[in-house]
Amino acid sequence: MSTPLRLGIAGLGTVGAGVIKIVRKQASLLQHRCGREITISAVSARSRDKDRGVNISAYAWEDDPVALATRDDVDVFVELMGGSDGPAKAATEAALAAGKHVVTANKAMLATHGQLLAGLAEQTGCALRYEAAVAGGIPVVKSLGEGLAGNEITRVMGVMNGSCNYILTRMESAGLTYEEVFDEANALGFLEADPELDVGGIDAAHKLAILSALAFGTRVDFDGVEIEGIGRVKIEDIRHAADMGYRIKLLGVAQMTGRGLEQRMAPCLVPALSPIGQLEGGTNMVVIEGSDVGQIVLRGAGAGEGPTASAVMGDVCDIARGLRLPVFGQPAETLATAPRTQSATPAPYYLRMALHDKPGALAKIATVLGEAGISINRMRQYGHADDEAPVLIVTHKTTRAALNQALEAMEGTGVVTAAPVALRIESV
CA distances from 277 to 150, 266, 285 (A): 29, 15, 10
SS3 133: helix
Question: CB under 8 A: which stretch of 176-184, 198-206, 238-246, 305-313 binds a second copy?
Answer: 305-313
Site string for a second copy, 151-170 (x = CB under 8 A): xx------------------
Which residues, other chains included, contact 375 with Cβ-Cβ below 8 Å and sequence gap of 6+?
A: 369, 395, 396, 398
In the DSSP assignment, the letter for residue 132 is G
Q: Least separation, in Å, of the C-beta of 105 and a second copy?
A: 13
Instruction: Pick between residue 4 and residue 147 the one whose CB is nearest to a second copy.
Output: 147
Tell me the helix, strand and coil percentages in the chain, rounded to 5.
40, 25, 35
Report the residue from 60, 67, 98, 297 that binds a second copy according to the rule CB under 8 A: 297
Q: Is residue 352 a contact partner of residue 392, using CB atoms and an 8 Å limit? A: yes
Pick the catalytic residue: 107, 207, 249, 364? 207
Q: How many residues make contact with a second copy (CB under 8 A)?
A: 60
- 189, 294, 359, 383: residue in contact with a second copy (rule CB under 8 A): 294
322 is an interface residue for a second copy by CB under 8 A:
yes
Report how far residue 149's alpha carbon sits from residue 151's, in angstroms, rounded to the nearest whole number: 5
Does position 146 interact with a second copy (CB under 8 A)? The reply is: yes
Question: Binding of a second copy at residue 22 (CB under 8 A)?
Answer: yes
Return the range that interacts with a second copy (CB under 8 A); candidates 61-69, 131-139, 164-172, 361-369: 131-139
Amino acid identity of 275?
P
Q: Which of 303, 293, 191, 204 is nearest to 253 (CA)?
A: 204
Stretch that binds a second copy, among 164-172, 173-181, 289-297, 369-377 (CB under 8 A): 289-297
**Residue nearer to a second copy on the CB measure, 80 or 422:** 80
Figure out which of the listed residues 8, 16, 18, 114 binds a second copy, where binding follows CB under 8 A: 18
User: What does the DSSP assignment read for 66-124?
Assistant: HHHHT-TT-SEEEE----SSHHHHHHHHHHHHTT-EEEE--HHHHHHHHHHHHHHHHHT
Nearer Cβ to a second copy (271/346): 271
Backbone angles phi, psi at 395, to 5 degrees: -90, 165
Query: Is 207 tagged catalytic?
Result: yes
Residue 324 interacting with a second copy (CB under 8 A)? yes
Binding flag, residue 30, a second copy (CB under 8 A): yes
Residue 35: CB minimum distance to a second copy, A: 7
Q: Which of 242, 317, 344, 409 binds a second copy (CB under 8 A)?
A: 317
- State in Å, rounded, how far the first CA of the chain is from the last one: 45
- Residue by residue, DSSP assigns 158-207 as EE--HHHHHHHHHHHHHT--HHHHHHHHHHTT-S-SSTHHHHTSHHHHHH
Q: Would you count residue 271 as binding a second copy (CB under 8 A)?
A: no
State yes or no: residue 330 binds a second copy (CB under 8 A).
yes
Taking a C-beta distance cutoff of 8 angstroms, is the pair 23, 5 a contact? Answer: no
Burial class of residue 122 (count of CB atoms within 10 Å of its CB; 0-12, 13-18, 19+): buried
Complex with a second copy: residue 294 or 383, whichever CB lies closer: 294
**Which listed residue (4, 119, 231, 306) binds a second copy by CB under 8 A?**
306
Backbone angles phi, psi at 121, to 5 degrees: -60, -45
Which is it for the CA torsion 81, 301, 196, 226, positive or negative?
positive
The single residue among 124, 143, 345, 404 that binds a second copy, judged by CB under 8 A, is 143
Catalytic residues: 207
Q: Which chain residues interact with a second copy by CB under 8 A?
A: 18, 22, 26, 29-30, 32-35, 131, 137-139, 142-143, 146-152, 217, 275, 278, 290-301, 304-307, 309-314, 316-318, 321-326, 329-331, 334
